Amino acid sequence: MSAIGPLALSPDKPLPTEVDAAVTVTYRSSGLGLWGTLIRGLGMPLEKVALTANSSQVSGKGQYAQAFKITFQDGWLAPFRVLTPRSGVAWFLQYSIMGFTFQIADRTLSKILNVDQFELSKLKRTPEEIEAEAAMNSGNGNVHEQYETREKDMSYAARFASKMVLAPLMATSFESLVSNKAEGVRFYGPDKFAKIEAKNFGNALHKVTGPAYGANVARNFLMCGSAFVATPYFFAKLPEDSKTSTNLFWFGLMGNWTANLAAVQMQSLWGRSLDFMAVGKGQPIKYSTVLAEGYKKEGFAALFTPTKYFSRVLMNCPAQGTIPWFYNSVLPICEQPVKNSFKSVYNGIF
């Protein structure tokens, strides 16, 4: 992955390649974690409306009004009462781990499959920035974003395509380990979730991953792929003069809106599965039964309606849809100062 702007280290005793890469990955991952936590916390009412709208608690006409009524039936601050310290930690880990594991997966798979790393969206740069980057690349070779020149034949295309699937899948499998259970708490509320979890349906692994983990991974896979793979790919096709921060912002939102056409169905499956789990005294989730019952009752509307889609977009887009813009336009502002500060400490020790 490449960052935007002049990121050249000072010529005196540059950081080792591995250390430089570790600092970059850590900084970018932490930044994503803080951004995601802030936006998700502020948007908790939107999330609660979306969770309710994408469950079996609403059906028929006026679904958005039903979801809104259920969300705020205990007052305007009710959505924030389901927040726990675990939610804040889970949000930070969710977004930081998504960024961290995606970068690690990208680098690891690139070596294994002998393909280039994903190159994130490059904005239009000034002549000074281009000159600074050229100086960096022609220096001591201490740049982990350098790409090898390979013959781009059919074999290469197949390997690269497989990485486009495997990298976000690996990232979101880890991400969902820390986010899925916290989302279950926000769906049920802490007390109800504790009672349901105490029944421990399934094996010990299910208790670690939380309910409906598979549906959560499928949804997050679509969103991660949109933010880190699809958006940079299509943004790169723009003419050079059109590669602006504003256009990248809208590209990220458009990618989010598109990916959510499928992700909302996984979100609905997740919500209906949690409703299924809480029926009566509780029962283990069976996706086939959840889908069959939902289709029998509501048809395809059990998984997709305009209300489900737009509520999902309103909840997800502020944090997830702005990741490409935040990652490429905001994080680079402080990346070099952070790396310079770390370099001073590192060189002082070693």
Query: Where residue 267 sits, what CATH number does that domain have?
Result: 1.50.40
Q: Which residues contact 144 (CB under 8 A, 6 or more apart)?
A: 17, 20, 21, 24
Q: Is 283 domain-assigned? A: yes
pTM above 0.85, yes or no: no
Residue type (1 letter), 260: N
Q: Is 125 domain-assigned? A: yes
- In the numeric block, the tokens 């994503």 are attached to 32
Tens digits of per-residue pLDDT, 265-278? 999 999 899 999 88
| Token pair listed for 234 | 């299509």
**Are 283 and 247 in contact, with CB atoms under 8 Å apart?**
no
| Token pair listed for 31 | 């930044």
pLDDT of 143 reads 37
CA separation for the pair 172, 27 (Å, rounded)? 19
pLDDT of 12 reads 62
- Residue ranges of the chain whose pLDDT lies below 70: 1-12, 120-122, 124-151, 200-203
Q: Is 10 domain-assigned? A: no
Number of H helices, E strands in the chain: 16, 0
Question: Which residue range(s) make up the domain with 139?
Answer: 17-339
Closest to 19 measured CA to CA, from 348, 343, 284: 343
**Quick one: the chain helix, strand, coil %, rounded to 5?**
75, 0, 25
Phi, psi of 216 (to 5 degrees): -65, -45
Tens digits of per-residue pLDDT, 89-115? 777 877 888 888 898 899 899 999 998
Closest to 219 measured CA to CA, from 264, 184, 277, 187: 264
What is the CA 234 to chain-centroid distance, rounded?
Answer: 18
Q: Is 215 domain-assigned? A: yes
**Number of domains the chain is built from:** 1
pLDDT of 92 reads 86
Q: Is 11 domain-assigned? A: no
Q: Is 7 domain-assigned? A: no
Q: Is 348 domain-assigned? A: no
pLDDT of 211 reads 87
